[in-house]
Amino acid sequence: MKESNKNLNELESRFERDEIFFSTTDLEGNTLSGNSTFSKVSKYSFEELIGKPYSTLIHSDTPKVVLKLVWEYIKSGKSVVAYIKNTAKDGSYYWVLLVASPLFYEDGSVYKYIFIRIKPESKFFPTVKELYKEMVEIEQSNGVDYSLNFFIERLNELGFKNYDAFMKEVLKEEVKQKKDLLDTEFSFDNIDDELKNIYKACILFSRIRKIYTSFYEFIDYFSEVSSSIRKEADNIFNLSDDIRLISLNSSVESYKLGSEGNSFFILSTEMRKNAERSGKAIKEIESIMNESLKQIDDIIFFIGVNKLSIYMMSSFLKEIISNEVCISRVHMIMEDINDNVALIESYISKLNQTSVALDRKFKDILNLLSKISILIKRLHFLYLTGMVESAHQLRTSFSLIFTQVSNLVNNSKETISRLCLNMNKMASENRKIKDKIQEIVLLIEEAKKELEIEHT
């Protein structure tokens, strides 16, 4: 018998790449419901699953610290993405990419959690499996805290600042890998009259999925331009330090000339003032730009989560239409539909709020870049004046100093021009997202009417 269990532990439970399943739990993690794929893959009946603690489905190969992170996220009201190895009823295993989210009452309090799972297949998955093996060993010998430190160190080595950055990149890659499936159209034969409304809702959610498909272009564009902006911004962030250094060199040279260096001393003082003014604007723009880049990451994350949520909803409605759900679960089915719609609406709201906030950030950044451009023009004037003055002092290095000013001016102009161009393009793309969100909201309202869900 022990040998039989061992063999089953080494077998993978069948979980197809085109399948997706969900479950909900109460705030203590006890299972409340789920769809038929959940039952099929886990090999538990619905009666066995209901009330079952979520933790009892987790395979021992999943590090405890990963589960700790999952619960910390959702208990703090945030969604989380994680690779999880689960155990089926017969002892076999199955890997999932888990997207866990809290569901909220109107007052903002959480009333349950919803877990969506897909079969993982991104480039990160093989690395994570090997990493988890090491983490489990560390936990057994040194505990969870050591495992967490090791995990974060390894993520840093992979180029991620923290787990939040890692999970967002993972979700983006996993959704890309599933693009062909997430865009699949469902077809039905001989639909019962009593299911016509559900069929209409399913068609509406298919239309919503098509809109989300167009967001892939935004994801690719935002990802590419964000990387470019980070590089360009570094040049601007160093601008005031560069001006300050040049003004210091100019001051030293003017001091050597004594009274003959008064005009250069005045120019050096003006450059120093320019550096101070630039520094204030740059400090402000750095803060806003960092916030806007984080919001871009959030938008990409919200699009990914909602893409999966909408596909989950479409798949669940397909199960109902295809009579794959148990008729005795009718009351649960309506509650599950409500929960899935609530999740979708929650993320559309977050996507809209972040998009609106990002629009304001773009405007603020463009205004600050305009201020810096004016300071650069002032610096160009100082360069011209300095070159005229340095023509009378051939034995000094002022000519070289003001050539440095010229190079700095030209490089800064080019950098600001590219930043403004990218910011304007991103603002334009962001406005398209906001327009599409309004279209999605209207389609969801139509679907809710078909499903007889009250306005929330």
Is 189 a residue whose pLDDT tops 90?
no
Is residue 295 within 8 A of residue 361, CB to CB? The reply is yes
Is 340 a residue whose pLDDT tops 90?
yes
Q: What is the model's pLDDT at position 454?
A: 62
Is 208 a residue whose pLDDT tops 50?
yes
Q: What are the φ/ψ torsions at residue 455 (nearest 5 degrees)?
A: -60, 135
Query: Percentage of the chain surpassing pLDDT 70?
Result: 94
Question: What is the per-residue pLDDT across 1-28, written as a single tens digit (0 to 9) for each?
Answer: 444 455 556 789 999 999 999 999 999 9
Q: What is the model's pLDDT at position 181?
A: 80
d(CA 33, CA 39): 10
Looking at 180-194, 197-211, 406-420, which range is the least confident one? 180-194
d(CA 359, CA 338): 31
Question: What is the per-residue pLDDT across 92-134, written as a single tens digit (0 to 9) for each?
Answer: 999 999 999 999 998 999 999 999 999 999 999 999 999 999 9
b/e per residue 158-183 (b: at least 16 CB within 10 A): eebeebbebbbbbbbbbbebbeeebe
Is 228 a residue whose pLDDT tops 90?
no
> 283: which 2 tokens?
């400090």
Burial of 123 by CB count in 10 Å (0-12 exposed, 13-18 middle, 19+ buried)?
exposed
Indicate the average pLDDT of the chain.
87
Could you identify the residue written with the tokens 């923290």?
162
Looking at 249-258, 354-363, 374-383, which range is the least confident one? 249-258
Q: What is the model's pLDDT at position 405?
A: 80
Question: What is the per-residue pLDDT across 360-392, written as a single tens digit (0 to 9) for each?
Answer: 999 998 998 898 888 888 888 877 887 777 776
Instruction: Using the Cα atoms of residue 443, residue 449, residue 453 and residue 454 in order, give the sign of their dihedral.
Output: positive
Average pLDDT for 248-262 = 75
